[in-house]
Homo-oligomer: A and B are copies of this chain.
Amino acid sequence: MSSPEKKWKSVESGPHTYEEALHPVVRKNYGKWKYHEIPKPGVLVHVAESGDSIYTVRAGTPRQDTVDMIRRLCDIADKYCDGYLRFTVRNNVEFLTPKQENVEPMIRELESMGLPVGGTGMCVSSVSHTQGWLHCDIPATDASGVVKSMMDTLYEEFRGMQMPNKVRLSTSCCSINCGGQADIAVVVKHTRPPRVNHDHLAMICELPKAVARCPVAAIRPTVVNGKRSLMVDEEKCICCGACFGACPAMEINHPEHSKFAIWVGGKNSNARSKPSTMSIVAHNLPNNPPRWPEVTDAVGKILVAYKEGGRPWERIGEWINRIGWKRFFEETGLTFDEDMIDSYRHARTTFNQSAHVRF
């Protein structure tokens, strides 16, 4: 790999340093902030002990950006923010300035560029999502496309602050779920065990690796056409797709049998209740590019019910815990079915071990 004409010896510096990336007012008040307010959607003001204030304007981005887009963001930062900007962990861009008078012009300019200003407080923020067909080697769908379709319908929820509490969404293109636990998550769900591509497998697969990867020991060595190969015990297989990550010949993706599931109630903050994992509330939704209307529709139903019924500060999972799952299904029009009963490793802990019952 080493090239003879190489002149530069790599510096293993790790993360880029941050000091020069901080606005001078931030540097001055570093670690000495007193409180914040949200004067309007998309705008935060943080007040320091020194009395200084810094204004933040937050805008949505497509996340799958281009150098053109980034340069435009830099133009804004140069014009209004002394050349500083940052991104949030949810792919929103933030412009920080001590100058209150820059806020409104900046908002106008961002919106005219097509970037919605919002994503603060009790809103639906941008979707944390993944690679999909654009880049990943194991996806069953395209995350960016699902996200774009979904956010088109939730545009005003991003730009407003009308929800009971923050709503975090995520979308993932396989069950691994690089997108993460969220208030509402849209995740590919395989429904059919992998078909083994024996020819392909003979060429590429480290057999023991694929066998070891299966969490339920459903993969066994076999011989096909005189070549060592693998077979899947379809009774045992739980369609997790782990083997496909280890060996591309374990073909689990399928245009019809790779579906979508909708999950709710994931919460990662420690505020009030402990962090909680999400629960499945719909599955068998078709993988329907380019606009995935069935997915968008299900997400919409959940948000309508939550917006209507949630009390201030209740995250989606907390709202459901109060009203109960029975009412959640009633009010969203989704259907509980037997596949939603846990059957995995700690399934017993999800059984209703009480006479508490709702009619």
A residues with a Cβ closer than 8 A to B are 270, 274-275, 346, 348-349, 353-356
Contacts and interface: CB of A to CB of B under 8 A. Distances in A.
A274 B354 CA distance: 6
A275 B353 contact: yes
B354 A270 contact: yes
User: Which 5 pairs between the two chains have the least Cβ-Cβ distance?
Assistant: A274-B354, A270-B355, A349-B349, A346-B346, A270-B354
Nearest to A270: B355
Contacts of A353: 274-275
A275 B348 CA distance: 14
A348 B356 CA distance: 25
Interface of A is mostly: loop
Contacts of A354: 270, 274-275
Contacts of A348: 346
| Copy total for this chain | 2
A355 B274 CA distance: 8
Given A274-B356, A346-B346, A346-B349, 9 more contacts: A270-B354, A270-B355, A270-B356, A274-B353, A274-B354, A275-B353, A275-B354, A346-B348, A349-B349
A348 B345 CA distance: 10
Contacts of A356: 270, 274
A81 to B, nearest CB: 33
12 contacts: A270-B354, A270-B355, A270-B356, A274-B353, A274-B354, A274-B356, A275-B353, A275-B354, A346-B346, A346-B348, A346-B349, A349-B349
A52 B346 CA distance: 51
A354 B270 CA distance: 6
Contacts of A355: 270
Nearest to A355: B270
A216 B275 CA distance: 32
Nearest to A354: B274
A342 B270 CA distance: 23
A315 to B, nearest CB: 14
A348 to B, nearest CB: 7
A174 B356 CA distance: 31
A223 B356 CA distance: 53
A356 B270 CA distance: 7
A214 B354 CA distance: 29
A274 B353 CA distance: 7
A334 to B, nearest CB: 25
Nearest to A350: B349
A349 B348 CA distance: 11
Contacts of A274: 353-354, 356
A355 B275 CA distance: 9
A350 to B, nearest CB: 10
A356 B275 CA distance: 10
Nearest to A348: B346
Contacts of A349: 346, 349
Contacts of A275: 353-354
A274 B348 CA distance: 15
A92 B276 CA distance: 44
A40 to B, nearest CB: 31
A266 to B, nearest CB: 13
Nearest to A347: B346
A355 B268 CA distance: 10
A275 B351 CA distance: 12
